[in-house]
Structure 1
Amino acid sequence: MCVLNWWRTLQVGAEFVGTFILIFGAVAAPIVNQKYGGVETLMGNALCAGLAVMVVILSTGHISGAHLNPAVTIAFAAFRHFPWAQVPAYVAAQVTASVCASFALKGVYHPFLSGGVTVPSVSTAQAFFLEFVTTFILMFVIVAVATDTRAVGELAGIAVGATVILDIMVAGPGSGGSMNPVRTLGPAIASNNYKQLWIYIVAPITGAITGAAAYTAVKITSDQEGQQ
């Protein structure tokens, strides 16, 4: 029991560190872009987030699974790839890491933190759709590389990181390309800007669950055809 508790504590700690790295890198890029007159560009913002995801998965994925995202954790639990009992600890670690990273950035780049906040520049419906679809795509890829033994697991970091880059290139100008409730929540708290926050909580969670369901359906169909 002591060993199990120690391992779970280690997992939660790795999830905290991984999420901190992701939020620090993903939020810093648009802040730097704002402060230095567009030096990062949309591609730079996308690359920073995608590379952060990639390096965290490669460095902590074998410890915590590197969810880095409450929507991913909830979707995994919904399809029995992760125990519900551990969801609260993971989500708490993710939220805490996001807030810590955001306040760290606020201290470094004040008063330019507003550049790192994801707020819609399109209508509410369009922003919701963008966040839902991009998270659907992200979770579809995550479930594929993380749960299907036929996938090349060693390439999970590259596949997921590349998906994040793709999604931000598509949704970044419209919704910010969050795909992650804590990507938005931490900067919102640090900057006291809660505009349309519900979109960035509801859309990623529903998108992730739908994406996981879609890949599960594809996998079941494929398995059935393979047995015939």
Structure 2
Amino acid sequence: MFSSRKNTCIAETIGTFALVFAGCGAIIVNDLFGAQLGHTGISMVFGLTVMAMIYSIGNISGAHINPAVTLGFYFAGRIQKQEILPYITCQFIGALLAAGLLKLLFSSHESLGATLPSGGLINAFVLEVVLSFFLMFVILNVSTGHMEKGIMAGVAIGGTVAFEALMGGPVSGASMNPARSLGPALVSGNLSTLWIYLTAPIIGTWLARPTCRMIQGNECCHVKDETTGKE
């Protein structure tokens, strides 16, 4: 049991590290080296990284790499309460380590790829809720239990991250992920609007559960009690 939990934590730490390092790194490189990637390139880096991590660690931890997704699985009854803290702790550790390394590599960059709203705060908040809702909606419909794994799961979820980043990036930064926002914000000191990215994605993933259940029925959101075997 300990070995399984340890493997899960290592996987979530590495997966979240990869997401923040590659995604935020793409933003930094684009800013510092003549916008060679562009908005489309940055969006694709986020989506491709998520896809790669799902295929790499989906069978180990489910490749949540996002506290809002972990909570979304809990809201849907797919993981137990005691699993939440280890997942989220490891996700935040991965994000902070990645942001710290980016700071060492690109110390001249002010935000380190932090998510900062370009429009009004209300617009950014609502957009993050909606984007997170659609992300969790897709995840619940293509995952098995709380595991993001399978032949097409990586493509579907990575593609969702990419198209949402393409659409929402210029407005809110399209975080959909409290860990992705917290790491760069803490290391760079850009904390004034962090509350948006810590709260809105969780609201969005909470809203996805009843919608999935309406479409898929009881098969979407249920979990077996490990002690009794009953749903």
Is the pair's TM-score, using the shorter chain for normalization, greater than 0.5?
A: yes
Report how far residue 221 of structure 1 moved: 8.1
For structure 1, the 5+ residue unaligned runs are 224-228
Provide the residue aligned with 1:58 in structure 2.
55
Give the secondary structure class of the aligned counterpart of 2:159: helix
Q: Distance in 2 between matches of 1:113 and 1:63?
A: 35
Query: Aligned ranges for residues 1-228 of structure 1 at < 5 Å?
Result: 4-147=1-144, 153-220=150-217
Give the secondary structure class of the aligned counterpart of 1:114: coil
Change (3 A) 1:185 1:215: same
Give me the TM-score of the superposition, normalised by structure 2.
Answer: 0.90
Q: Which amino acid aligns with 2:6?
A: T
Residues 187-219 of structure 1, C-alpha deviation per residue, up to 9 Å, x if partnerless?
001101102111101110000111233112211
Question: How many residues were matched structurally?
Answer: 217
For structure 2, the 5+ residue unaligned runs are 221-231
Give the secondary structure class of the aligned counterpart of 1:195: coil
Report how far residue 161 of structure 1 moved: 0.4
Superposed CA RMSD in Å reads 1.6
Change (3 A) 1:136 1:58: same
Q: Which has the higher helix share?
A: 1
Q: Distance in 2 between matches of 1:165 and 1:177?
A: 10
Report how far residue 222 of structure 1 moved: 9.2
Give the secondary structure class of the aligned counterpart of 2:175: coil
Provide the residue aligned with 1:226 in structure 2.
none
Change (3 A) 1:28 1:113: farther
List 4+ stretches of structure 1 deviating above 3 A: none
Report how far residue 87 of structure 1 moved: 0.5
Q: Which amino acid aligns with 2:56?
A: S
Identity of aligned residues (%): 39
Give me the TM-score of the superposition, normalised by structure 1.
Answer: 0.91
